[in-house]
Amino acid sequence: MADAAARIDPHHAIGDIDRRIFGGFVEHLGRHIYDGIFEPGHPSAGADGFRHDVIDLVAELGVSTIRYPGGNFVSGYRWEDGIGPKEARPRRLDLAWHSTETNEVGLHEFQAWLDHVGSDLMLAVNLGTRGTQEALDLLEYANADADTAWTAQRSANGRPTPFDVRMWCLGNEMDGPWQVGHRNADDYGKLASRTAKAMRMVDPGLELVVCGSSSSGMPTFGSWERTVLEHTFDDVDFISCHSYYQEMGGNAQEFLASGVDMARFIESVVAIADTVAATKKSDKRIMISFDEWNVWYLHNEEGGQNDKPEERGWPVAPRLLEDQYHVLDAVVFGDLLITLLQHADRVRSASLAQLVNVIAPIMTEPGGIAWRQTTFFPFSITSRLAHGRAVRVPVTSDTFTSERFGEVAAVNAVATIDDEGVSLFLVNRSTTDAAAVTVDLAPLLRELGREVAVVESALLHDDDRYAANTLGDPFRVGVRALDGAAVAGESLTLTLPPVSWGAIRLA
């Protein structure tokens, strides 16, 4: 048993929490749309074809804004294919995932699904095979409140009032050579700037996201951000970050340091953005949209669902990227959420990629059940409990040595404070030692002028860190109360087993 000490001080505020930090991402990829959220004929499906068991789980997950329709998919997408009578919609080849897109679900259907789950829409425009004019057409169709050909068509398609989409992505991962229409930073920055300026002429109140690097490991990382922002600084509000993590070579301890990598990524992009601001003598602050993040076994040693789809022709809704998540993955995932909250002053939007079947917290079986993966629990609990403002929680704990990051603290934590109480989120990154954590509440109690008590706690841990929820055993892993968590005097005490994530609500 290792000892750890932490402190909650309301004066150590990071920033107000933008609820968009608990966003999601839905792409036309694999079985995400078809056989995932949309399965006409399923026992739970409504007349519109959407599975209500999945709707209930997405609502429980607590996602705020959902990015759509991609992802790599968007760089070859013609949005017009997804409007109008379904029987007249064309089938198209999707080059991103080497599949056939039926276009049964488009903008109108997806908005109807969002209305079911209670989330807002975040749209990405195609700056791969298309450009400024096509982005303007989509914006006019979606948002204009005027008598035009596009708005007349929108009304004829069943939507007389605007969709009023507020947040828009200017393309996707345009730094990636895998991207259809890939451009260098200079060419993309010029295109993004022209498109942003034109879109604001239609709707000045938009919030626009320019593409940052698709990972901090890209050879152009850093220089890409600087060049793109030099072109677009005055035109956009956000720059995107994308990052995925996985256990490599069975090294669980190194995997548990993933939050350190995410933190450094965020801080590097913030530094670059603020450097561009300084060169422009501007007090404007570009925010971060971390609009793709997750655990993803991209380098799957066993093959399986991450095989190249082109080996199977041009299928409709193939089983792609259907990672099965275990407890270790969920603990790292929970730590990534902690890291996002630790940067709430600049991370104002984030999108868990993705939601259903594809590297997802929710899985479905055609004609059968839907179930929660292990990663579902940290997201749903954090989204529900984290409100108000984020507060730094300094922790003194044992450390371990990471090959990439040197000495890493075994215990990581963040707190949030709202009008009703305080939420504390913690992770024990050690693979060997439990942590007895004592949290000093004295500064909090002085500020509140009254006592607090534990009213809810949750622990994600299993003696088998590779335990998972599956079709055959969908309830194998869950969360339980954090036994022994209690306030005595001015201290909160609790014990975190090795490889565990926990949450505590004080009221």
Which are the catalytic amino acids? 173, 292
- 14: amino acid identity, one letter: I
- Judge if the upstream peptide bond of residue 69 is cis by omega within 30 degrees of 0: yes
The total of other beta-carbon atoms located within 10 Å of residue 406's CB is 10
How far apart are alpha carbons 470 and 372 in whole angstroms?
A: 9
How far apart are alpha carbons 340 and 12 in whole angstroms?
A: 16
Dmax over Cα atoms in the chain, in whole Å? Answer: 69
* Helix then strand then coil, % of the chain, to nearest 5: 30, 25, 45
Give residue for tokens 């959420």: 337
Strands 23-25 and 65-68: parallel
**Helix, strand or coil for residue 80?**
helix
CA 108 to chain centre: 23
How far apart are alpha carbons 160 and 1 in whole angstroms?
A: 63
Q: How many CA atoms does the CB half-sphere of 69 hold within 13 Å?
A: 28
Contact 375, 295 (CB under 8 A): yes
Q: Which residues of 300-339 are buried (b: 16+ CB within 10 A; e: fewer)?
A: eeeeebbeebeeeeeeebbbbbbbbbbbbbbbbbbbbbbb
End-to-end CA distance of the chain: 28
Contact 153, 145 (CB under 8 A): no
How many residues are listed for the chain in this entry? 507
How far apart are alpha carbons 193 and 227 in whole angstroms?
A: 12
How far apart are alpha carbons 47 and 57 in whole angstroms?
A: 19
- Beta-strand (E) ranges in 325-461? 347-353, 362-364, 370-372, 389-392, 395-396, 399-402, 406-409, 411-417, 422-428, 435-440, 454-460
Give DSSP secondary structure letters for 3-51: EEEEE--TTSEEEEPPGGGGEEE--S-TTSTBTTTB-TTSTTB-TTSBB
